[in-house]
Amino acid sequence: MNKHQATIEKMGQTARRAFADLAGASDAQKAAALKAAAKQLRMGREAILSANALDMQKGKERGLSDAMLDRLMIDDERLESIASAVEQVALLPDPVGARIDRNEQPNGLVMERIRVPLGVIGIIYESRPNVTADAAALALRSGNAVILRGGSEAIESNRTIHKAMAVGVAEAGLPEDAIQLVQTTDREAVGAMLKASGLIDIIIPRGGKSLVARVQDEARVPVLAHLDGICHTYIGKDADRNKAIAIAVNAKMRRTGVCGAMETLLIDQDYPAPGPLVRALIEAGCEVRGDDMIMELDPRTVSAEPVDWDTEYLAPIVAVRMVQGVDEALAHIAEHGSHHTDAIVTEDNEVAQEFIQRADSAIVMHNASSQFADGGQFGLGAEIGISTGRLHARGPVALEGLTTYKWVVRGTGQVRP
Amino acid sequence: MNKHQATIEKMGQTARRAFADLAGASDAQKAAALKAAAKQLRMGREAILSANALDMQKGKERGLSDAMLDRLMIDDERLESIASAVEQVALLPDPVGARIDRNEQPNGLVMERIRVPLGVIGIIYESRPNVTADAAALALRSGNAVILRGGSEAIESNRTIHKAMAVGVAEAGLPEDAIQLVQTTDREAVGAMLKASGLIDIIIPRGGKSLVARVQDEARVPVLAHLDGICHTYIGKDADRNKAIAIAVNAKMRRTGVCGAMETLLIDQDYPAPGPLVRALIEAGCEVRGDDMIMELDPRTVSAEPVDWDTEYLAPIVAVRMVQGVDEALAHIAEHGSHHTDAIVTEDNEVAQEFIQRADSAIVMHNASSQFADGGQFGLGAEIGISTGRLHARGPVALEGLTTYKWVVRGTGQVRP
């Protein structure tokens, strides 16, 4: 066992003990811990901002891009939003202890399924230091212990944020070890987390595609993640023209860097107004890469190459293709999609229902922008991520997704014949 | 890619296509397919029994134990019970399409979670050929495609049973490829299944500990399984004497070879009648391995070694220990348990509730025999297995455990501000 494995094993064991202690914590205690943590974050302003200044300085020396530096930066406004996000999580309903279902057997046994925390959650993330507070808050709110591993470029910021969270948790009488931060920036520590079966119950990577791919590839612990968000919008032949334009432009252009952004637009051959749709996208500043039929609509379009249908641009570029009916739209999505979010725009509810039933996506939308693919927009309060896997939680994962259940069987002395 | 990988890849691809076709299948169609399959099993009597006779003959030549030969054997009675089990599954309610929850956002978007099949399920099992029909029926009932890989000793029986099932499915107009059987008995085919990420969504091993351990160790595909059933019964100080004896004897002795059988009995030091309890177990034919205090109770007890607390006997042997209160009982279970089924016997509901809340087991029971740990007994109709993992389904896994959900978002043209 190398030294990182030993470190992670020790952290895992203390996390498991903390998790066992949390099992007895009340809703009120967990909420109080998060409120105390938010207070500690505000009180720790000076320490956090100067630690962040150190990270920023090192980041500049290491030549981080302006975008990365911006993600790393914490100022007063951002610190306040980190603290108030933790308070918001404190206000969310505690999923633990809820009864999922109940049945009574003829022999008098009563079976119930009761929500319980998942256990020990490992979060592996990149530059944004707010994840340290966000992820810890969501994990603790749902009774889980958490082991956080942030990016090396944010280590000083993460340490001070983690410290504030842990002090708040301890103030509320809950185990400080419920929130732990991996202190080393060595990459091998990530490998040790990914292999810590029996100690870490689930790994949630939050970051770019290369991080998620590495985690999915190496992990022996189950992973809750999405790799790609290749989201499609299919404009059916009976789509309302105004809705089609508004939804397509919003789905692509509102924010191009989010996983719910549309990457491919499929237009039905019988949709009567493809020209205005393509023009609206171009005029919103989007590059349109189309098939031959799309290219005939506007001279400003460029030709789509085969690779375009499988590309998550995360940029103001869209691949556009004409399709023949819902079957061809679904076949395209089945071949090129990433099971994230796919949408249909149509006034024909029967066609919409067929699309909804047959599209194999975590989120299927009718007459709405795929940019709504977000836990907050779904009324879940906050999300720890979006899952494109099929096991456990799917789509936006919030507090409930960080729980499992136990079966509780109550009898009066029954024995099995 | 070796030839087994190529074979499994091809089976996985046809299974995925079949799964996509099944997405449109109605409840009635799936039920009709299973009824047709049951009919085919009965009509195939001659082929199945003579294939089984061949397996039995080879098994005897290979020197299989009597117990293994018994598990392998199919006679008229067993064939009828295989067919009628398939019919029973046809009668279970279809979980697919059920609405889990629904919320409406202030912007008018309506979010629903709808149950959908998991996808392609790989079942890896050992000698009992009835699993071929059982597992296929449960998978198909819930809209999944299935790739079956049975033990080499049952290959001829499995082929004929699989054939009957597939013909039934095709008769009902559903894709025959929804139920596939790996035709080779080469062990490398199992390895190929375990690594078929993206083609197989989940692997369910059904068999002994060495099979399950191999699957859990090698799999890159998520696994739904339990490895051990080290089940505890804790007799609290306020346990009713008659219930304590009846439950302990039943939990251990009803059937000793099942995963829900009690392996360790924890008796509270303040429970007033430990002697009659230990005697009842001994007189029921059970070997009692106890700690020093237990050994003082009866000269027929033997001394428990440290390994006994971690042993799943699956035999008429029980490890018995005196503990001081619910804390020590829970600490013992946390250290030695396998998160399967643990029970408390007490008339003190407060202590029972504490045990229920703090025991980290898939199934926690109060005043009932752990032998009830079975999907049928839980009112689930039939089970594909019992999961001691924390992700996805936990405890007895039936049709619902073979589903996931999709988010369906219905709008009227909403775009995100």
Q: Which of B190, B197, B276, B262 is nearest to B232 (CA)?
A: B262
Distance CA A223, CA B164 (A): 38
Q: Is B117 exposed, middle or buried (0-12, 13-18, 19+ CB in 10 A)?
A: buried
CA–CA distance, A170 with A36 (Å, rounded to integer): 9
Ramachandran category for residue B119: left, alpha or beta (phi over 0 → left; psi -120 to 50 → alpha) = left
Q: Position of tokens 């039920």?
A: B31
- Residues B296, B304 contacting (CB under 8 angstroms): no
Cα(A411)–Cα(B369) distance, integer angstroms: 9
The 10 Å CB-count burial string (b at 16+, else e) for B287-307 is ebbbbeebbebbeebeebeee
% of chain B at pLDDT higher than 90: 88
E strand or H helix at A359 = none
pLDDT tens, residue by residue, A103-124: 999 999 999 999 999 999 999 9
Q: How confident is the model at residue A99 (pLDDT cuts 50, 70, 90)?
A: very high
- The residue of chain A with its CA nearest to that of B347 is A412
- Please report residues of A whose CB lies closer than 8 A to that of B415: 246-247, 249-251, 254, 368-369, 371
Average pLDDT for residues A7-25, to the nearest whole number? 92
Give the type of residue at A80. Answer: E
- Give the one of A356, A357, A415 whose C-beta lies nearest to B369's C-beta: A415
Residue B127 pLDDT exceeds 80: no
Closest-CA residue of A relative to B16 is A334
pLDDT tens-digit map of A295-322 = 999 999 999 999 999 999 999 999 999 9
Judge: A378–B202 Cβ closer than 8 Å, yes or no. no
What is the rounded average pLDDT of the residues B198-218? 90
pLDDT at A67 over 90: no
Contact B20 A103 (CB under 8 A): no
Domain residue limits, chain A: 3-225+394-409, 231-377
Least confident of A15-24, A76-85, B274-283: A15-24
| Closest residue on chain B to A246 (Cα) | B415
- Cβ–Cβ of B405/A396 closer than 8 Å? no
Give chain B positions within 8 Å (CB) of A368: 109, 409-411, 413-415
Which two three-digit tokens encode residue B164? Answer: 């009957």
DSSP run (H or E) holding B412: strand B403-414
Quick one: pLDDT band at residue A227, thresholds 50, 70, 90? confident
Q: What is the mean pLDDT of chain A?
A: 95
Residue A207 has pLDDT above 90, yes or no: no
- DSSP tag of B223: B
Beta-strand runs (E) in B38-144:
99-104, 110-117, 120-125
B-chain residues near A116 (CB < 8 A): 360
At position B327, the amino acid (one-letter code) is: D
The per-residue pLDDT for A102 is: 96
Q: Is A202 helix (H, G, I), strand (E, B) or coil?
A: strand
Partners of residue A395 in chain B, C-beta under 8 Å:
405-407
Q: Is the pLDDT of residue A1 over 80?
A: no
Q: Which is more confident, A350 or A389?
A: A350
Residue A344's identity, in one-letter code, is: I
- Quote the ipTM score: 0.93
Given pLDDT bands bounded at 50, 70 and 90, which one contains residue B67? confident
Residue in chain B lying closest to A250 (CA): B415
Going by C-alpha positions, the residue among A395, A328, A388, A373 that lies closest to residue A355 is: A328
Q: Is there a contact between A334 and B364 if contact means CB atoms under 8 Å apart? A: no
Strand B363-368 with B385-387, pairing: unpaired
Q: Taking residues A230-239, report their average pLDDT.
A: 98
Q: Would the pLDDT of B86 be above 80?
A: yes
Strands (E) located in A317-376: 317-323, 341-345, 363-368
Question: Could you say which of B250, B357, B412 has the minimum Cβ distance to residue A23?
Answer: B357
Which residues does chain A have within 8 Å of residue B247's beta carbon, measured at their own beta carbons? 413, 415
Nearest to A229 by CA among A204, A267, A254, A263: A263
Nearest-CA distance B37 → chain A (Å): 26
Q: Which CATH code of 3.40.228.10, 3.40.640.10, 3.40.50.620, 3.40.309.10 fits the domain covering B231-377? A: 3.40.309.10
Distance from CA of A390 to the nearest CA of B (A): 6
pLDDT tens-digit readout, B363-414? 999 999 999 999 999 989 888 989 998 999 999 999 999 999 999 999 999 9
Minimum Cα–Cα distance from A200: chain B residue: B390
**What would the mean pLDDT of A62-89 be, rounded to a whole number?**
95
A96 → chain B, closest CA residue? B357
Contacts of A392 in chain B (CB under 8 A): 391-392
Q: Considering CB atoms only, which of B247, B412, B415 is closest to A250?
A: B415
In the predicted structure, residue B147 carries a pLDDT above the cut 80: yes
Find residue A341's DSSP bridge partners.
Answer: A363
The residue-averaged pLDDT of B52-79 equals 95
A146: confidence class by pLDDT, cuts 50, 70, 90: very high
The pLDDT of residue B290 = 98
CA distances from A70 to A47, A74, A86, A259 (A): 19, 9, 21, 19
- Residue that is written with structure tokens 């397509």 in the block: A248
Q: Which residues of A touch B414 (CB under 8 A)?
A: 367-369, 372
Taking the C-alpha atoms of residue B122 and residue B198, their distance in angstroms, rounded to an integer, is 12
Nearest to B372 among A24, A364, A409 (CB): A409
User: Is residue B23 scored above 90 in pLDDT?
Assistant: no
Residue (of A306, A263, A309, A301) closest to A280 by Cα position: A301
Q: What is the pLDDT of residues B301-336, one digit of tens each?
A: 999 999 999 999 999 999 999 999 999 999 999 999
pLDDT of residue A209: 85
Architecture of domain A3-225+394-409: 3-Layer(aba) Sandwich (3.40)
Crossing angle of the two packed helices B27-43 and B76-91, in degrees rounded to 10? 170
Q: Is pLDDT of B104 > 80? A: yes
Given a contact cutoff of 8 angstroms between Cβ atoms, the answer to whether B169 and B37 are in contact is: yes
CB contact under 8 A, A391 and B358: no
The span from the CA of B76 to the CA of B191, in Å, is 35
Residue B357: list chain A partners with CB under 8 A: 23-24
Please report which residue ranges of B146-203 form alpha helices under DSSP H. Answer: 155-171, 188-194
Interface contacts A/B by beta carbons within 8 Å: 191
Chain A residue with minimum CA distance to B114: A357
Q: Rounded to two decimals, what is the model's pTM?
A: 0.93
Q: What is the pLDDT of residue A217?
A: 87
B365 → closest Cβ in A201, A362, A409: A409
User: Could you say which of A105, A358, A414 has the minimum Cβ distance to residue B379?
Assistant: A105
Query: Residue B98: its pLDDT value, please?
Result: 95
Beta bridge partners of A110: A104, A410
CA distance B194 to B250: 38
